[in-house]
Amino acid sequence: MGGIKVNQEKIFQASELEMLCPFGAIVADEQGKIEITPACRVCKLCVRKGPTGVFEFVEEEVTALDRSAWNGILVYVEHSNGVIQPVTYELIGKAREMADKTHQPVYAMAAGTDISTIARIFFFMVLMKFLCMSIQNCSLSR
């Protein structure tokens, strides 16, 4: 995505430029400096209809993500009062299918208090690691 750049040195009548934007995103201050407000929808109407060179659409530079550091599949353990919700088992199954294809480890994470029973269940489900977010101590991991 990009944005609108204002070339201030090319502005002659700042008050007339405010009328170009149907969203009211072009605002002139007391000194005649034009600003583009967050109301801008980047419709580029100001670029097309405004004086030549005053408004310019500038494409944002997109940097490539280094995905080599991304690894593993994390499943959040949905539970209520120590009872694991069935959807969690479905998600673990799908995560294992994906892991077999992508050769990624599967992780499960639960948050809450008194989740040691849940931790033990997942410890024996042959997951690479079980992550606990608990007020109490939880240290089961492979």
Report H helices in 8-85.
14-17, 45-49
Segments making up each domain of the chain, as ranges: 2-59, 67-134
Residues 6+ apart with CB under 8 A from 100: none
pTM of the model: 0.47
Residues 6+ apart with CB under 8 A from 7: 53, 54, 55, 56
Considering the domain 2-59, what is its CATH architecture?
2-Layer Sandwich (3.30)
Q: Parallel, antiparallel, or unpaired for β 129-134 and 106-112?
A: parallel
Show the tokens assigned to 78.
Answer: 């949905």
Q: Spell out the per-residue pLDDT of the chain, length 142, in tens.
A: 789 999 999 998 888 899 999 999 999 988 889 999 999 999 999 999 999 999 999 998 888 878 777 888 888 888 887 788 999 889 988 998 998 898 888 888 888 777 777 777 776 665 556 766 665 555 544 4
